[in-house]
Structure 1
């Protein structure tokens, strides 16, 4: 039944591309421009550098300032600490990619990998401060967006620890020679992942352009739907349609979830590690709900918002 559905969907997508080729062209061009001008320059250097750090077994140097905190509070091993930090700093889907690769190399256990996937995949501060912040209404300070995105990591981590029965810190696992890669291997591996990401961004940008052409939805519904399909297009649409704190609310929610494009990007980098994309979507949904609730709570306190 599942295969039949996707067969029909693929045929329908082909006819949509043929019938509405102008929209498909604009969507593909927009997605590739976004990928080439924003995603590649910000993510690829971090990805290559991260692979080199892992290959040189220099993880302990990078995580030294936060190792004790993450080890005690989040119960992470050294490799788990690095996975968590890289996911916070580098953005989608770097955390999931690192988690998957460490599981493949037996540097973290399957249990820690499942736990990490719930908390390690987030938008980067560069994306929030650069792209997402530019869409925020003036009445919403950037620090509220940052707090609403990153603060829910703590309750999600506590819930994930309970779900996966993590009751004590994970121990570090030995590094095998087979897991050490050359610089060329690190470079090519990073480029392969970037091509996958670019493909998904292009496809979901086409879908986003099709949504904008739908005559059956009002502009507000379209903007929210776009935000949960592809976050960059969605942020732009939300900023044009919603004013005041409502715009900040939907931008925060869409950014926390990462969009369906982010889900498929994540799926493409974890498929070989035995991690569940369904579990990932559930945790991202919980994170998004907490983000929305925290945003509502903070914006209900007038003292936290700038006066008009």
Structure 2
């Protein structure tokens, strides 16, 4: 039965592609521009740097220093601190990809790497402070507030989803082979290039999916159904539409959370939720970047992170209303 549903879905998708071929082509062109001007320039340097840090032994050395703290708090190896920091600075899925590389290098177990990827797949300060704070709210303070909420909720996610038991520090007996720096650099650059291509492919695909959801009226039907439920929280119909859009493709959803989307508090909470969740596009980008890890744990981590980020943001705005006075 599952195979029958999959085949029916493929036939429907192909039919819609033929029916709306011109519109889908426009969506792909816009997505290519997004990849070339935003995604690849921001992700490629961090991907290359993370691979180089592991192959040169930097992550392992950092792990020796931070192992007591990471194991006591999160039941994770010390080298996970490097992935956690990269996730906060480089944006998704850079931290999750480094988690997978730590596993493939033998520096942590599959369970540890999966738990790490669930909490370090975050957006970076440039995106939250620059695009969300400056672009949407025209306020640096709003961006800093959102980034602080993002970090705290990610750390809370790491505490909630940490492995039940701390692995022995000796489990990673396999040491990363010391290679010449030139070879490490070549491997880092080629690996970063492959990852950027995979991520760009998912951005293109979900831009087409979002285009079809709009053209077939599915997105507007969902918006009409959810608007009465979310209007009590201060989110308008355009805001609900942007929320649903962001759950598929993040940047397009955020772009719609303008003044017409609802109150400032509601918009801040919506942005906090969407940036923590990342959308289906980011989830599948993570799947491509973390091959070999437990994808279900990564998805669970993003869902928990999104709920915590929205709850923490709403709670802080309730306690400190001045935060919403931008």
TM-score normalised over the length of structure 1: 0.87
- 1:201 maps to 2:203: yes
Question: CA–CA distance in 1 between the matches of 2:261 and 2:200?
Answer: 29
Distance 1:303 1:296, change over 3 A: closer
Is the Cα–Cα contact under 8 Å of residues 56 and 179 in structure 2 kept in the other structure?
no
User: Does the C-alpha gap of structure 1 residues 103 and 64 become closer, same or farther in structure 2, counting only changes over 3 Å?
Assistant: closer
- Partner SS for 1:78: coil
Aligned to 1:156: 157
1:282 to 300, 303, 315: 300
The equivalent of 2:26 in structure 1 is: 26
Q: Does 1:226 align with 2:227?
A: no
Greater helix fraction, Structure 1 or Structure 2: 2
The alignment partner of 1:24 has SS state of helix
Residue number in structure 1 paired with 2:311: 293
Query: 2:6 — aligned with what?
Result: 6
Compute the displacement of 1:210 (Å): 3.0
Distance 1:259 1:116 in 2: 19
**CA shift for structure 1 position 58:** 2.1
SS at match of 2:79: helix
In structure 2, runs of 5+ residues without a counterpart are: 225-237
Cα shift readout 1:202-245 (whole Å, capped 9, x = no counterpart): 11112223334425345443211101111111100223641322
SS of residue matched to 2:256: helix
Counterparts of 1:144 and 1:108, CA distance in 2: 33
Higher relative contact order (CA 8 A, sep 6+): 1
- 1:64–1:144 distance in 2 versus 1, CA, 3 Å: farther
Please list the CA deviations of residues 99-139 of structure 1 after superposition, one character each: whole Å capped at 9, or x if unmatched: 11221221111231232122121111222122222443358
CA contact (8 A) 1:71 1:169 kept: no
CA distance in 2, matches of 1:169, 1:127: 37
RMSD: 2.7
Cα distance, 1:65 vs structure 2: 8.4
**SS of equivalent residue, structure 1 residue 107:** coil
State whether residues 87 and 96 of structure 1, in contact with CA within 8 Å, keep that contact through their aligned partners in structure 2: yes
Distance in 2 of aligned mates of 1:307 and 1:190: 41
Alpha-carbon deviations, 1:56-81, whole Å to 9, x = none? Answer: 11225667986664454334323222
What is the Cα deviation at residue 255 of structure 1? Answer: 0.7
Task: Tell me: CA distance 1:61–1:82, structure 2 relative to 1, closer, same or farther (3 Å).
Answer: same
Matched, 1:187 2:189: yes
